[in-house]
Structure 1
């Protein structure tokens, strides 16, 4: 029985290459919020065009989904945009004004994502309720 004891040469990058790679990664991570903001706005506009179409807007499920989209866009604008601008030295005056305003901003930062999820849950409940008859065993208990 023979063992194949071949060694492999592992080439480690030079420290200067690691610094350059970490710089690129840092720049990429800093601009993710801008990319998410742009893609989210494009998605928001697309959803508005779809859900405000005359044939679709009479459906209550589409209204819930449109409200969820509006809540998501507000979340992007109120949460991601100030964080992105603060990286470049632009101050955000409504955050640093008073403790009451700071508490309100923290409330908005947690409320808007939850509101979006709640609208999606309402849309699911609406679709579930519309798909069963009133005489179904689900409604009779």
Structure 2
């Protein structure tokens, strides 16, 4: 191979790398930087849809629906506080670099961590509620289905979420000439990955497995003809929460996986092209992580017929005449079976 050939190949490689960097930067500016606003708008629409549907008389006195609505409220708060500001200040670390007060720094980091964790923990509570439905009414677990227990369980969930997120304000502080930043990077990374990337998805998937096993055993012991209608409504909410768990786990793990890769390779001798790809994927997966705060309404609409019927019945109530009464008589039957337990 001649020197001119080697020189030509080298120049082509440089041009190709430069072209990829420019393409990724252009995609970042035109698409990824717009995701915070798009996701926040989708989350706001979903929150209004959940609020409208779960406050209908058919659903508002069910513990599962209260947990789901509470999680939806935390979702929109998280999107407003942690995601939407990134649209107006998309520069890396821009929001934290502007913080010069120590208390504001720690409070900001605490909100960044505790809000998404609280949303996931409330999803876990809705799973616990479905798991409690599989126990007989004489069991201690069935007490969790009572409405008077819901405020206490939500309060306990808030306390647990706060304890799980305490590491964030402890490991961040004001760094001179930088702003609000991490002071113990290794401990912060290990805590974040262990709690939010491993422990939380593991708990959700474990509860899904336990609940599914008990429902399966309940179906084998209960007559199919006498309880078919009850199981149909009960299982719609089971399918809804199961789907939300798996979708939430996916969006958590795709971000945790990329974050883990970045930490493992941050001191590697990478080319400019490799660093551009890494930062692009970090930004993309971090934005997609906030889809866990959007998924509730849309997955509920897709997976639960009762949710769709209740929402449509609520809309029809806004119309004049007796149209909504006729629709309810045809479609919304057995509304009180959503909390039905399986027979042991």
Structure 1-normalised TM-score?
0.73
Tell me, in whole angstroms, the C-alpha distance in 1 between the residues paired with 2:39 and 2:53. Answer: 21
Q: CA deviation at 1:54?
A: 1.5
Q: CA deviation at 1:130?
A: 2.4
Change beyond 3 A, Cα 1:19–1:110: closer
Match of 2:79 among 32, 52, 76: 76
Tell me, in whole angstroms, the C-alpha distance in 2 between the residues paired with 1:20 and 1:101. Answer: 36
The residue correspondences of 1:96-107 to structure 2 (distance < 5 A) are 96=99, 98-107=101-110
Q: Could you tell me which residue of structure 1 aligns to residue 58 of structure 2?
A: 55
Q: CA deviation at 1:48?
A: 1.0
User: Structure 1 or 2: larger helix share?
Assistant: 2
- Deviation string, structure 1 residues 101-135 (Cα, Å, up to 9, x no partner): 11011001100111011111111111221232045
| Runs of 4+ residues deviating >4 angstroms | 14-20
Q: CA deviation at 1:23?
A: 4.8
Q: CA deviation at 1:30?
A: 0.7
* Structure 1 residues not aligned, in runs of 5+: 1-11
Match of 1:26 among 12, 28, 31: 28
Residue 132 (1) aligns with residue 135 (2): yes
Change beyond 3 A, Cα 1:100–1:25: same
Change beyond 3 A, Cα 1:19–1:132: closer
* Structure 2 residues not aligned, in runs of 5+: 1-11, 143-344
Tell me, in whole angstroms, the C-alpha distance in 2 between the residues paired with 1:52 and 1:109. Answer: 28
Change beyond 3 A, Cα 1:120–1:19: closer
Change beyond 3 A, Cα 1:121–1:18: closer
Q: Could you tell me which residue of structure 2 aligns to residue 122 of structure 1?
A: 125
Tell me, in whole angstroms, the C-alpha distance in 2 between the residues paired with 1:109 and 1:119. Answer: 17
Secondary structure (helix, strand or coil) at the match of 1:34 reads helix
Tell me, in whole angstroms, the C-alpha distance in 2 between the residues paired with 1:87 and 1:125. Answer: 38
